Amino acid sequence: MKKIKTLASASAALLAAVSCLWAAPETAEPQKTAEPATFGEAYKLAQTLRGKGQKEEAAAMALKAAELATRPDDKATALWYRGDIYWNKNTRDLQEKYGLEALAVEGISPARRVFSVKDLLAKIYVEQGVGGLEKARRLVEAALAHPSMSNATYRIDISAALANVEFENFQVDDARARLAAFEGEGSLTSADKAQLLRARADIEKKVGDYPAACALLKRIYDDKAQQPKTRLDAVLGAIGLMRDDNKREEALAVARAFFDDSSVEVGGKHERLADTIVRTEVSLKRIDAARKAIAALAARKPADERGAAAIDRAVASLTYFVDFAEGKFEACRATILANPGKYRGTTETKDLSTVFFNRGEYAKAAEIGSLFWNKPSVPWGHDHFFRSMPVAYWRSGNPKGAAEFLRGQAETMTGVSEGRRLGFKMAAKFYENGSLLKGDARGMTSKVEPKVARDAFQEAAKQLVSIGKIEEPRMLYEMRKALFVPHRRNIAPVRYVGNAPTDVGSWKASGLATEKNRNVCDVKFGKQNAERLITDVAVARGDKVNASGEAEDDRPIAWFWVCYDEYGIHLMFEHYDPKFADVLLGRAGPIGYEMYFGVDELGPAFQFGINPSLKEFEYCPPWNSPHKYFRRLENYADFSTRPSDEGYATAMNISWALVYDRLPDNGSEWPFEMICWARNGGVTWGGTDIWQRSEWGHWRFEGMTPKVRSAIHRVLVYKALARYNAQKNFATGGAIGTWRDEELGDPAFYEQELKPLVEKLDAYAAEVKGEMGDALADRLFKEAVPLWYDFRYEADARRARYLERQLTEP
Amino acid sequence: MTTRAFPMLVAVLAALPALAQMPSPDEVKTVSGQTAAALKAVSLPRLKDHVGGTRNNTVARYNAVRVAQDLAGKDLPAGATFTWYAVPPLSNIQRLADQYPVDGKAAAPLRIVACRDEFEPASFQIYPFADAEKVVVKAGDLRAEGGAVIKADKVDIKVVKIWYQDGNGWYSYFNDTGLKLCPDLLLNDENMIRVDEKHKANFVRVNLKDKDEYIWITPPAEIDPGFNVAAEPVRDAPTLQPVSFKAGEFKQFMVTVRVDADAKPGLYRGEITISPESAPTANVPVVLRVLPFLLPQPKTYYDTNADFFAMLYCNPGYGTFYTASGNNAKEAEAKVYRKLKNQFDHNVTSPLYYGLWKGYSGLEGVERDLGIAKKIGMKLDPFFEAYSCVNGDKAGRYYEILRNGSIATKEFQRILGHGNIYPAGGEEPGPRTIVASRNGWRAAHELGNLVMCNGGDRRHYSGYADDFRVGGGFAEKDQADFMHRIQGKIGNYAGPHTGPENPDYMRRMHGMNLYKKDYDMMYNYGYFEGEWNDLRAYCYRITLVYQTRDGFIDTLPWEGVREGLDDIRYATLLKQLAERAIAEGRQKNVDKYYTGRKALQFLACLNEETCDLPEARLEMIRHIMAIDKVLGNGK
């Protein structure tokens, strides 16, 4: 027994030493001596280098430590550490190699051997499937065969590790058998038996056989030869499994029996068991039984002061728990207020305060909640709670309390930026004075960095929005906004061009696509880029986004030109791709685009994606139901792509028919945005994220004279008439043809509702000539085109009214 | 390229909100010039006064003249201070306060056609000629000739609140940094939300114990601390409260009639009275045709025996409500009930609790939640996403799934009375996770369960084990075909996510668009995942309803979803009857045969992406009635 203890302690000591080395502050500066002289120095240096991310240097230093080591275990530790530096899925082979080298060091202690074997199993072989399992088995077999490994504790330890690898490879029976085989060994100590049973129970738990696991744990806690703590841990483990298995009565019985078993006395036993009993009873809604269990715990108060205090704490805590579960919030409040020091900073105060807040009892919320914040160690991450506290004070008519709270927060809260602290003070000023003047806010931030002011304005504004204030937050928002580079909305003039270019070749030949005329996308995509402080170095320097990531490469990444003619809008966009040679060879994919344009500021917008290697839109989502005032883009646009200088150029044509009912006037501005998914991050013409409509630039239509407008009308008259005439063809489902059909249509409906309309539209059609003057084109456009072009919608609307009347008029 | 620092309004006719349905500047000019003629033709003094007062506002004058033209020859009381327009309730048209209803009919009755067991909407817009406060809007009973009555409490009226949504409002679910006015909320108390057009801001009323307070809910995202309406006492009134009218501003009302399953078929008539404090009352006639059919639960287009499911991902439930109510179990349960009832009444009949099963420690919660769902009558067979079976390549996780699944199956069997459950196979898992989940999915299959999992097309690495793939993005027929060919099912979400306010669009995309593309499920995200402040949305503003302390506020798009699912129910009825007629007609009754086939032909030719949905609904009804006639059911 003594020997075993010694071995166990040696093992623990070794592990402690290793972990101590491991835990040494890795960021500490290495000693200034160029060459470490001892194993310890080299090992520590290796850790430091690893902490700095200098992996190769760290590995070399670990090797050096191994060379300097005078004891086998130190050498093995250094070699193991060398491997551990490569603990990464891509360098497992190195980790394994050096781990095995550590194991191969002559004369290592059994503890070191066990550590190395378990480490290889847990970090490498368990991840390698069947191959890993085989390696693990061979390694364990070899380790067990080593003369130094006769001790059962080590053998069980190492076998349990292997059983885990077997389990992870779904070899559950092998794992079970491997551990069960130890049962026959007569030399097992009580500790060995407990270790073995725990390992076996662990396998059963993982397999999901909780009763089997409980039975194994029962053998530990029933064994009076086991240490009391070992028995208690086994009991608690079994109770946890029983509860998870919905055997709460069984769990209670075991807990109560052990609670009353005076043969097992170990510190914390009654508190821990009572905790389990009370929580289980509460889960069964047996509040009285839970309170009885608390009383039983209180009666167990031992003579020693420390033990008695522990029991007192547990009783109070459980009483609070039961009160809270039962909804006795006033009792909880009384408990806390009776001893506020004890509860200061505990989550109980936060939770109870939240309950009162959500019940509209703001004074109580503030009273209890104030105990939570005033503890410097409270981690940040309770923003909502902390922001609700001033609200609670405010709504309970105590603005001074809110101010004090915020000033306290500013002083003691950990993990908060300087700006936010200043924001707390700024909001406190509001609560103190009943207002926050611009001069106050400016004065408080006059001597701080802009980024501190930015955070201060933001925090204070949030605080004041929370209590329903409007003017002060708006003022703070504007002050904050003034710190940033203003957002710009570009304007691209869209001019009328007779015989406008429609493909890349004609664009290139047109003389329109000049560097001077182009509209460049030079805004970095991403919301995080939206807010650039005026004082940022990059802003001050005028840095531009670039395609290759090379500082000297300041060529624009993407740009476009746009014009229109009587047929529609014509757009050409082009990009510079540093990998374009690879793209042409198929070794890299092309750079694509996402674009939008809107019809007027508030009208519908079209979104589309273009991949230059595709002949159709990569996507063109249906964001609206097609109807009288909206048509889908994909039916009204085409594009073609050609390689250009160092990237693709794409020409796109959008027919006026898409928007025939809302043609632009001279000076009309339509929102437009282009995002180019460049290799070094996306760039946009103006927006910072997808669908940031309020940031898009504008196309401004110029040269839309009455003459030009008439020319557009003329084209649309022909197109609309063709579309209307197609409605007459019953063979292809035209509405006019179909409604007249006796079998599939409704001639009565046709005669009553459609025929007059058709006659009117036919009369207009008779006016259409090969050469139409502007006046005629304008009149037909106004009077006939809407019905010609979307005859079907009109027919549908008439049909709906007709049927509705039939059904609702007797 | 020129640039400027601040956005500018569109130059031309800056007063015109540039919306799809807004008439051209030319038309505005033309109509405004017809003022004198319009005034001559109308006899209402208050309207004449009102038109006269619009000379400085082009749009207001245009609207007033159009209204005057519409009312010429109509018989309205001389002292009338307003009129109304019957308008399609779920239209593509944004009904803003200064938008003349191009598709409306002045002073016309509301016409409603409904089956039994259906909610059916109608709508009207008021055009006031004078300001009015405390106007009471109230529905009366609807009565049929034979004496049957649909009581007034089955006629729900809500005011459609126009408020600020982000710059993508109406058109997409994405977040933007700007705001614009958009019709959206259906409120009983229009004063619950205050809209400040001068500052472009929404405010919500918080009911504190001693006073009401309006909280700014549209601050820029950077300074919005997040407003928790669940914890803050925000409430709508239980019934429609008096409203105010402002001269020249259109105000829309949504009328929803509940036709119970036992309602008698026939033609019902009634009216909605609109009573200003000091002006004549107007009665808006309501005509309701109750069809003799019980609207069936929706089935798929490809198989009239296969259920079409509807559920919404994956809103908070009891736990969140409990905390927000100040740990009040009763209040939290009531809210869960209201949430599910609201969904059920909108045809979303399958509840979704992603990973409801949390082990025995959560059993009480499972029983409570499912008890509420059962009480409402929600569809729990099959039961979806009952537990999680994601991963499983590691033995520990595999056995955990096996154990959890086995217990969950047993417990759900006990609670629900069946073992037809689908565990969740993951949360948009990527290819690696799917492969790593093969064992987990296998475990579910070993337990006799089926796997449901959302995410993209995974036919190349997972199809065989996918029982119900819920695909993200816009629905595609070929994806449905693939799943059905391998004897699986398919649902859809994000095609689009919730968020767009356009009710016609939402109706289409949650209804016929999925149905005709052979989908088995609408499973969208989400119910109220978005917040009250669009500007605060991280990326998507995904919401169909707005949460209050004790309930949920409906919206136009949410009504659109209900109608979309009703469209599927009508199509289901049509198909069921058509199949019967065809089967019977094959026995030498060609009329029956043809009538059934014509109905199917109609449905087959219906373009789910472009059709006029109200017309399609009425056409379906026509076919249903025609088949019913040839089947002899009407006799």
Grade residue B279 by pLDDT with cuts at 50, 70 and 90: confident
**pLDDT of res. A6:** 40
Give me the mean pLDDT over the B537-556 stretch. 91
Provide the sign of the torsion angle of the four alpha carbons A349, A351, A356, A360, taken in this order.
Answer: positive
**pLDDT of res. B622:** 97
Residues from chain A contacting residue B20 (CB–CB below 8 Å) = 599, 603-604, 629-630, 662
Using a pLDDT cut of 70, give the percent of chain B over it. 96
Give me the mean pLDDT over the B469-485 stretch. 97
Q: Report residue A398 as tokens.
A: 């105590």
**pLDDT of res. B210:** 79
The verdict on a CB contact (< 8 Å) between B612 and A466 is no
Q: Shortest CA distance to A391 belongs to which of A412, A413, A360? A: A360
Question: Cβ distance A49 to A61 under 8 Å?
Answer: yes
A593: Cα separation from own chain's centroid: 25
- A39-66 per-position pLDDT tens digit: 999 999 999 999 999 999 999 999 999 9
Q: How far is B278 from chain A (nearest CA, A)?
A: 33
**pLDDT of res. B76:** 84
B535: Cα separation from own chain's centroid: 22
Distance (Å, whole) CA B17 – CA B427: 42
Distances (CA, A) of A125 to A135, A143, A742, B172: 7, 15, 78, 51
Residues from chain A contacting residue B613 (CB–CB below 8 Å) = 625
Give me the mean pLDDT over the B606-632 stretch. 97
Question: Cβ distance A557 to A545 under 8 Å?
Answer: yes
Q: How far is B277 from chain A (nearest CA, A)?
A: 32
Question: Cβ distance B560 to B346 under 8 Å?
Answer: no
The verdict on a CB contact (< 8 Å) between A468 and B214 is yes
Q: DSSP letters along B386-429, please?
A: EEE----SSHHHHHHHHHHHHHHHHHHHHHHS---EEEE--SS-
Give me the mean pLDDT over the B12-17 stretch. 39
The verdict on a CB contact (< 8 Å) between A662 and B609 is no
Using a pLDDT cut of 90, give the percent of chain B over it. 80
Within chain A, which residues score under 50 in pLDDT?
Answer: 1-33
Nearby residues of A481 by Cβ (< 8 Å), 6 or more positions away: none
**pLDDT of res. B420:** 95
Name the CA dihedral angle for B569, B570, B574, B576, rounded to a multiple of 10 degrees. Answer: 20
To which residue do tokens 């992406």 refer?
Answer: B609
B102-120 burial: b if 16+ Cβ within 10 Å, else e = ebbbbbbbbbbbbbbbbbb
Name the CA dihedral angle for B537, B542, B544, B546, rounded to a multiple of 10 degrees. Answer: -20
Residues from chain B contacting residue A603 (CB–CB below 8 Å) = 18-20
Residues β-bridged to residue B216: B203
Nearest chain A alpha carbon to B538: A527
Residues β-bridged to residue B267: B289
Q: How far is A487 from chain B (nearest CA, A)?
A: 6
Question: Cβ distance B188 to B241 under 8 Å?
Answer: yes
Q: What is the bridge-based pairing of β-strands A558-564 and A489-496?
A: parallel
Better-scored residue on pLDDT, B6 or A780? A780
Interface size, chain A vs chain B, as Cβ–Cβ contacts under 8 Å: 251
Residues from chain B contacting residue A387 (CB–CB below 8 Å) = 225
The verdict on a CB contact (< 8 Å) between B223 and A167 is no
Better-scored residue on pLDDT, A11 or B22? B22
Strand order in the sheet with B193-196: B193-196, B201-207, B212-216
Q: Shortest CA distance to B103 belongs to which of A810, A758, A796, A736? A: A796
Grade residue B1 by pLDDT with cuts at 50, 70 and 90: very low
Best of B612, B620, B624 to mutate (most A CBs within 10 Å, chain A): B612
The verdict on a CB contact (< 8 Å) between A470 and B201 is yes
Mean pLDDT estimate for chain B: 92
Give me the mean pLDDT over the B149-161 stretch. 98
Distance (Å, whole) CA B535 – CA A692: 11
**pLDDT of res. A16:** 43
Give me the mean pLDDT over the B104-116 stretch. 97
- B311-320 per-position pLDDT tens digit: 998 767 899 9
